[in-house]
Every structure is written in C-alpha cells, then in structure tokens.
Structure 1
Amino acid sequence: MQRKVALRLSAASAAMTVAVGVGVVLSMPEASAATGTATGYATQNGGTTGGAGGQTVRATTGTAIHAALCGRASSSTPITIEVEGTINHANTAKVSGASCNTAAGVIELKQISNVTIVGVGSGAVFDQLGIHIREASNIVIQNVTVKNVKKSGSPTSNGGDAIGMESGVRNVWVDHVTLEASGGESEGYDGLFDMKDNTQYVTLSYSILRNSGRGGLVGSSESDLSNGYISYHHNRYENIDSRAPLLRGGTAHIYNNHYVSLNESGINSRAGARAKVDNNYFEDSKDVLGTFYTDAAGYWQVSGNVFDNVTWSTPGTDNKPAGPNPQSNTTVSIPYAYTLDSAACVPDVVSRTAGAGKGLQVSNGSCSVQSPTSTPTTPPTSSTPTPTPSPTSGPTQPSGTNLSLGAGADGSSKASGTSYGNVRDGDLSTYWSPAGSTGAISVKWGSATSVSKVNIREAAGSAGVIGAWKVVNGDTGAVLTSGSGAGVITFPRTSLSKVTFEITGATGTPKVAEFETYAQ
C-alpha cells in the first residue's frame, strides 16, 4: 500500500514537478529559502553547501522530511527541504528507501550527504524532536527552533540532544537556529549541540542556546579525541549550567559570542583541546573559561574578551579556571578569513541577529547588521593569519569526505621540525617538508580504499614551490598520473592501501600542509 505523505510544493514550482517514491512530489530546481554562505571551519575540507543546486521541496511534517530524503535518486543527490509549521512525534514516522535510513520520532540524517533543512519565514519548530546527524556530510540547518528534546521521561528523542552529530560526520553548518530546553539532566534533558565519534568541520553561527543544564560537547569521553575543527560565532548562550562548550581534544574557534548566566562553568577546554577565544562578551556568569571536572588539561588563546560581572572559583586538582585575569597558554592558527566585531558591541549585534525568525541577518564586521546576501563593508581582519591560497592548478577544491583524515602517513624523508602526519591532520598551519628539494609523502590505510582525486595544499608562504611530481600507487609502484604544480589532481579511480605524492622538481624546499584524498 502506498504511504501518503504531507508534503507541499512551493507555488513557484507547481507548474513543473516530477513524482518520486512513497507518494511524494518533488519540485524541479528553484530558488530556496536558504540564504548566505557557510563560515568558519565549515568552509574547510571542500566547503559546506548543503543541497545547493538540487531540488527544493516544502514539508510540513517530519514524515515529509524523511520522504523527501528517501525520494532522491541517491543518498548524495542534493536537496533543499523548506520546513514550515511544527514537527513533532505525532507527524514524524519512519520512511524507507534506497537513499535514506530514517527512524520514527527523530529527524534522521543518516548515511546521506548534500542536504539543506531550512525553516520558512519566521522559522519551523521541532517540538520535543531532535535532529540526528550520523555518518553524513555537507549538511546545512538554518532558521529552525528545536526545543525540549528529552532522553528520559516521555516522549524521548535523539538521546536528549537537540542537534547531535556522531560517527564520521563532516562539514555541517548550523545557522540562525534556536536550541532550548526546560531544565537539566534531572529533568530528562541532555545537550543542545553535541558532537562525538569523529565529527569534524562544523560551524554554529548566529544561534541561541538557552535554559539547559548542558550547552554542548565535542567528544563523549576523555578517549573520544577524534573530533574537532569547530567554529562558534555570534551565538547567545543564556541560562546554561555548563558545556558552553565542553571540548575534549580537537581545535575550536570561539568568537563574538554573548554569554549570559553561565551558572557553573562555560568554555571547558580539556584533554588536550585547543580553543581560540576572541572578542566574546561574558556577563553575569561563573568560571567562563578553563579546565573543569578533570585533571586532563586543555589550552586556550585569548584576546579582546569582555568579562562583565564574572566570578572565578579557587583553582584545585580538577578545576583550573583561566581567570580572574585569563592569559593564553597556547597559540591556535585559523586557516580561514574572518572579521571580528568589537566585544563591546557583541551583545547588541547578537541580540539583533541570533536565533530563528531574525530574518537571517548577520554582522558586517563593524558592529552593524546587514542582509546575509550583502557585501561586507570591511575586509577580513588583518590580525588573522593569511589563509593558504587556493590551488593554482587543476579543478576547484573538491567536495566529499577527505579520506586522509584518520589515515596513516609516511615518506622518504622529513626536514627537521616537520612530520609526515602533518599532511593528514586537517591543520593548514602544520606541514611536511622533505630533507631536500625533492622527496615523497604517502597516505595509507589499513585496507584497500578507492581514490580518484588528491589535493596537495602548500603551506602559507610556499605557494608555487612544488614543480614536477608524480602520483604513485604505493601498493604496486604504478604511476597513476604526473604533472607540475600543487593543487587538485585527478586520475582513474583506483583501489589501493597507499598513495604516494613524489616531488621530482621544486624551486625551493616544498612545504605540504595537507595531502587530501577523495573517492570522487
């Protein structure tokens, strides 16, 4: 029996539609309600565009959202889902299909890619219903409210997380959302914005997180250290007990946020995490930065922050607050351009821009507010490192998952102070150099992996040094392709456990910041 799903086309597309499975009708490509472009770490690793360029549908139920995912040609076919109204347990059922893996009682974005979910007008509401992102990439969530998601009591959804990401998630941009609870763990709630089990390249921007015991975490335990490269900017954290956020390992960039009433602790950097904390405004709060509830130290670089009526506890074995006069104990290089508002104006800018239903307004970087489609009036601040130039040869930055992250690496030689592992750590500020002007660097896996594209990214200040090269199948020694100059390199898709980039000519000492690999 065919399932009937409440999914409605936008008026502009009514004249041209195609029918797909489970009784769902999708529109042909059209302009969507999604606005602006990704910022922060979501711009790295190929960027985050969600469903741009694909079909656009309008959904008024959770079941319709699942049906739209299941009706695609494949699990990676781009789609934008415009959501209006209230999504809840009563209207969110499991839908089956080859391009989806859904479940009842939760919005399940599992084993998929290239999806945008955007609230229409003043925004959609996900009432007691969480959004679960698992084994997925290139996801955009914009202009929605997710509230009162519980892990205990009734009803339960998504382990109590408003938005939760886990298991190899890559490139997620969450923007202009409101995430809220009505209490802490004892009332049945968990985190508002959680990442674990190898989640990377995420940005949370222009959002509100409030009335919760737990703001959000990066890493589920002291041994879950595979997460990182997270940006938090122009968000408002209000009436949060702790985890604003909690960082276990990894790197985070936290700037231009407004923190009000952090009741127990705020930014909790621990287990080797490194946080760059710039131009935030902390108000009426306690222990807003430090390492808390553990003896596993974390680190921070601070500048330009305002501490307004902030109190600090006495340091102890398991609590090491950064204040009352926070000082940097590490340095963090940021690979993308960004513009800082003065901390003094952050409360005003954030109050006018953050959260669902704010018209997707953004800061112009000079303490004023503008449409996200407008051109900023000021260039990126010169206080940030100059980003590594885009490759000068080959196609543009590839999309998809960078297979080098989490892989192994070796090579023919390495210059003092450099490391083979630096080419697959996702950090453009670290690099490998050979002992001379030529040499080889390899990425390797424990089992055969299909690769058809690599991206050689030179470190800042060394663009154009790499001359002639060849890409070699490390298993057989066969040359897959050859050429000159760093950038994106394609070759016939090959299954191998090791791929080698061999530099045979250079104008100086090469510096390879990243040796990225892609299946397609």
Structure 2
Amino acid sequence: MRRSIALKFGTALATAAAVVAGVALSMTHASAQTSGATGYATQNGGTTGGAGGQTVRATSGTEIHQALCNRASTSTPVIIEVSGTINHGNTDKVSGDSCDTADDVIELKRISNVTIVGVGGGAVFDQIGIHIRESSNIIIQNVNVRNVKKSGSPTSNGGDAIGMEADVRNVWVDHVTLEASGGESEGYDALFDLKNNTRYVTLSYSILRNSGRGGLVGSSDGDSGNSFITYHHNLYQNIDSRTPLLRAGTAHTYNNHFTGINKSGINSRFGASVQVDNNYFEDSKDVLGTFYTDDMGYWEVSGNIYDNVTWSSDGSDNHPAGPNPQSTTSVSIPYGYDLDDAGCVPEVLQETAGADKGLLVSDGNCSAEQPTGGPSDGPSDEPTGDPTEPGGSNLSIGAGSDGSSKAGGTSYGNVRDGDMSTYWSPSGPTGRISIKWGSDVTVSAINIREASGAEGDIDSWQVVNHDTGAVLASGSGAGVISFSPTALRKIDFVITSSSGTPRVAEFETYA
C-alpha cells in the first residue's frame, strides 16, 4: 500500500506554476526550456542542446534529417520542434556536410548542439528509434518512442527506443515516454541503452514501460568506459530487468517509482557504484543488487521505500541487496539536487512523468506524513519530537543517512526520525553512522542522543567531515558536540570504543 501523504512545495524551478490534483508544481513550455538540464548532464561543461540556434518545425523523420543537414556546420545549434507521427514511411536518409543520417532511424551522428522537442498535439516515434553516436550536447524532450524492434518487421536502431554509443557526451533526455509491447522473444531489445564510452547523461521525468529490458550502461563486461549517469523522477512500469544494468562507472538514481519489476531491477555489477536515494519500489522482485554474475557492484542507499518487494536468496550469480538493503560503498555526487520524500514519489510522477505532461516538474520539497506499508532504509515522515536543541532546526530531518553496519532490527534512518524509541546500533562495539545531504550545508554542532537504557555505553568517538576525512572533534560520551562551522555534504559520527553495543536514537545536526 502507498503512503498517505501531504504534498508541500516551495519555490518553483520555472517561471510559471500550476496546481494539479492538489500538488503545487512548476511548469515550463516545450519551446522555452527554462529549467535547464539536471544531474550529471550539468557536468563536463553542461548540456544546452540547440539553445541560441534556429528553430525548425518537422512533421516527418525526413524533415528532422533535413533540419540537421541544412545547418552551416555539424555544430551549428538548432532546435527541432516535432509534431505528428514519425515512422518508417516518412523517415529517409538526407545527405549534407553537416549530417550523417540513415533510413528508418533518427540518426544524430557526429554532430553537436541539437534539441529535439515534441510540440503541438504531441510527437510519436512509431517503431522508429533515436540513435545518438559520436555526438555531444544533445537534448531530447517531450516525445513518445514506441515499439522499436530488432527482429521481425520493421526493425530500427537495434531494437532500442533511444540508444547512445561511441564517444557520446552530455545528453539530457527529459519528459519522454519509452515503451514496447513485450520482450526479446517478441522482437524488442531495450528502452534506453548507453554503450562504448558514453558519459554525462541524465534521464528525467520519463516513463519506461512494458518491456523486457529497461536499459543498460555498458554492452558487455569489457565495455567499462561508460559513466556519470543520473536517473531521476522516472516511472519504471512492468519491466523484467535492467532498471538499469550498470557495468562499471558511477550512477545516481533518485525519486524514481519502480512498479512491476518482474525479475531484477537496478543491477550494479563489475565494479559499478550507484547512489540510490528516496525511490519508491512497489510490487516488485529483487529491485537492487548484483545479478547474473559474481562480479560485484556497489550501492549507497538512503530514504527508499520497499512496498511489497520480494527478495530471492543470495547464491552463485545472484546477490540481491535485500531483504534489508544497506550501503556497500559511498558515492560522491558533484551536483546539487533536491529530494522529494519517497512516499510522495508515486503521486508526483503521476502528474509529471512522461511526454505530453506540459513539462511539469517537482521543486523537490514534497514531504510525506503518516507512513504505512512496507519497510524502508530511511523513513520519510515528519519528526514527532522537539528538534530545536541546541539551537535552530535539526538539519538531519529530511536528510539521508547510512553507516558502516547495523545490528538486526535497527535502521540508519532511525537516527533522523525524531523518535527516541527507535535507534541504530552497529553490528559490534564500534561503527560509523552518517548524515548526508544532496548539496553543501553548514554544520557547527551535533547532538548524539542515546536510546533509553544505553546511556553511557559510548566511550570514545570522532566527528569526521566525510567529504575530506578531516576530524572535526573527538572525545568520549554522548550529547551535544560543537566545532567550527563547516560546509559539507556528509558528516560521520564514528564510535571508536564502547562498553557494549551502542544505541544511537538520534543524530541531530545544527547550523
């Protein structure tokens, strides 16, 4: 069952705002991308697509190719506004010095500075895939891509709805709907594949559904040069596996809704690292782990909800993160981002994700009340206690948390829920508990509150700036600990000795 929620939003990301179904949302228009790229697509110089270039209308695949080929050079910016249905019958190769196109596929090859955006009554790419190869600074927004096949008839793009390969850089795919009508046996491959040295990509506010494969990063274990991928505010629905499959590299997945994941979900393998924040996993199986191989990947988890998720047993070639997922690595995210509570995510995405939604986005301040249903690795509800000591607001409320280990029946999230009856314990007499944020905050004091009956169990400790490794304070006992104001994204309370198994009920942080 989903959580009962109250949605609250602050300042809008765009200049116009809308209220839909009682949810305050910010809105942009297809012809004016006012909110800009997010996630890893903002790095490596950023992703602006065809901004500043000529705007061209296209109602066929051939006209899309013509818009590319009519530019002065392969890097001349262009915004291509697409309406109607693009299919095999209207998509032909066009030649020119500023393009390299092909029949029966939208080919963005050896070019840069291009935006393709759906307008008007919508843009549908019917059985036609979008292929990005040896290109950079590309935006694809507000389009539907459906039923692209690799076998049978007709075929396009190797069966991928959107595929990228061969030295691709800086792509933002936003508010798209990618769907198939079955799996590999029906002729389909994946919805969103990244291969052969593809980097700095963001997939946001999109729907991926009804496919055997969501997508992968790296075509084989030898294809390990792909990295820096963000997936946020996407709906994955009725997909067998690969949401995504990650081979090496670094990824960040947050505020996504996974429902009906039938075999396996986020598959981190072959040394990949993925930060998994505030996602809602529902009615699914094995939503996180290393699957179909013993070459392990790693994950950092925080704030996720697991609602009716089943987990298989650990064994050869099968290593699920559950039934009680915990972090196996620490991932440093270089960009700022705002997190909606996981309990809000299904309702937020119902109004915002996919094509033809008016490019609505959340401002990232949605919070959930009265949590019910399945377990989580960090609660999203509002605090029940008084978080005002030693002065100001407790910055841990609404943040993330993780640690070095946790004893059975305890949770990292218990230290930031405002409830003194819940707590975290390490699996032994020493351990680390951490509070983390998506962007820098300034902290000058913490308050370590021990659970009832455990007062005095903590002997010695260190407070550490996780970002730099600097020791901010050290001492013994619990309570209020002050130090010089420090800007950081993650702060550690490291218990170096104790008289038993410590129990930390609250790890409060203050500016």
Query: TM-score with structure 1 length normalisation?
Result: 0.66
- Superposed CA offset, 1:99-132 (max 9, x none): 0000000000000000000000343000000000
Mapped to 2, the partners of 1:169 and 1:34 lie a distance apart of: 22
Q: 1:37 maps to which residue? A: 36
Q: Secondary structure at the match of 1:302?
A: strand
* Pairing 1:57–2:111 present: no
Output the amino acid matched with 2:210. Answer: N
Whether the 8 Å CA contact 1:34–1:118 is kept in 2: the answer is no
Instruction: Please give the residue correspondences for 1:421-436 in structure 2 after superposition, counting only pairs within 5 Å.
Output: none
Mapped to 2, the partners of 1:272 and 1:386 lie a distance apart of: 27
Q: 2:163 maps to which residue? A: 164
Structure 2 vs 1, CA of residues 125 and 34 (structure 1 numbering), >3 Å: closer, same or farther?
A: farther
Q: 1:383 maps to which residue? A: 437
Mapped to 2, the partners of 1:253 and 1:121 lie a distance apart of: 32
Whether the 8 Å CA contact 1:33–1:82 is kept in 2: the answer is no
Q: 2:72 maps to which residue? A: 73
**Offset at 1:364?**
1.1
Q: 2:86 maps to which residue? A: 87
Mapped to 2, the partners of 1:63 and 1:259 lie a distance apart of: 36
Whether the 8 Å CA contact 1:176–1:354 is kept in 2: the answer is yes
Instruction: Please give the residue correspondences for 1:269-348 in structure 2 after superposition, counting only pairs within 5 Å.
Output: 269-348=268-347
Q: 1:5 maps to which residue? A: none
* Pairing 1:106–2:160 present: no
* RMSD of aligned alpha carbons: 1.8
Whether the 8 Å CA contact 2:50–2:79 is kept in 1: the answer is yes
Q: Secondary structure at the match of 2:80?
A: strand
Q: 2:356 maps to which residue? A: 357
**Offset at 1:384?**
2.2
Mapped to 2, the partners of 1:56 and 1:46 lie a distance apart of: 23
Q: Secondary structure at the match of 1:359?
A: coil
Mapped to 2, the partners of 1:185 and 1:35 lie a distance apart of: 38
Whether the 8 Å CA contact 1:122–1:358 is kept in 2: the answer is no
Output the amino acid matched with 2:207. Answer: I
Output the amino acid matched with 1:241. Answer: D
* Pairing 1:197–2:196 present: yes
Mapped to 2, the partners of 1:366 and 1:386 lie a distance apart of: 17
Whether the 8 Å CA contact 1:139–1:172 is kept in 2: the answer is yes
Output the amino acid matched with 1:131. Answer: I
**Offset at 1:385?**
4.4
Mapped to 2, the partners of 1:122 and 1:35 lie a distance apart of: 21
- Superposed CA offset, 1:437-477 (max 9, x none): xxxxxxxxxxxxxxxxxxxxxxx99xxxxxxxxxxxxxxxx
Instruction: Please give the residue correspondences for 1:171-182 in structure 2 after superposition, counting only pairs within 5 Å.
Output: 171-182=170-181
- Superposed CA offset, 1:230-257 (max 9, x none): 0000000000000000000000000000
Whether the 8 Å CA contact 1:214–1:242 is kept in 2: the answer is yes
Number of equivalent positions = 351
Whether the 8 Å CA contact 2:337–2:439 is kept in 1: the answer is no
Output the amino acid matched with 1:344. Answer: G
Mapped to 1, the partners of 2:115 and 2:35 lie a distance apart of: 12
Output the amino acid matched with 1:109. Answer: L
Q: 1:235 maps to which residue? A: 234
Whether the 8 Å CA contact 1:333–1:385 is kept in 2: the answer is no
Output the amino acid matched with 2:152. Answer: G
Mapped to 2, the partners of 1:34 and 1:331 lie a distance apart of: 33
Mapped to 1, the partners of 2:270 and 2:207 lie a distance apart of: 27
Output the amino acid matched with 2:184. Answer: E
Whether the 8 Å CA contact 2:129–2:160 is kept in 1: the answer is yes
Q: Secondary structure at the match of 2:67?
A: helix
Point out which structure has higher relative CO (alpha carbons under 8 A, 6+ apart). Answer: 2
Whether the 8 Å CA contact 2:118–2:141 is kept in 1: the answer is yes
- Superposed CA offset, 1:69-111 (max 9, x none): 0000000000000000000000000000000000000000000
- Superposed CA offset, 1:401-432 (max 9, x none): xxxxxxxxxxxxxxxxxxxxxxxxxxxx89xx
Whether the 8 Å CA contact 2:168–2:197 is kept in 1: the answer is yes
* Pairing 1:139–2:138 present: yes
- Structure 2 gaps of 5+ residues are 1-29, 368-397, 400-435, 442-466, 469-486, 489-511
**Offset at 1:35?**
4.6
Whether the 8 Å CA contact 1:34–1:142 is kept in 2: the answer is no
- Superposed CA offset, 1:205-254 (max 9, x none): 00000000000000000111000100000000000000000000000000
Q: Secondary structure at the match of 1:294?
A: coil
Mapped to 1, the partners of 2:104 and 2:46 lie a distance apart of: 30
Mapped to 2, the partners of 1:55 and 1:32 lie a distance apart of: 12
Instruction: Please give the residue correspondences for 1:177-188 in structure 2 after superposition, counting only pairs within 5 Å.
Output: 177-188=176-187
Output the amino acid matched with 1:69. Answer: L
**Offset at 1:181?**
0.2
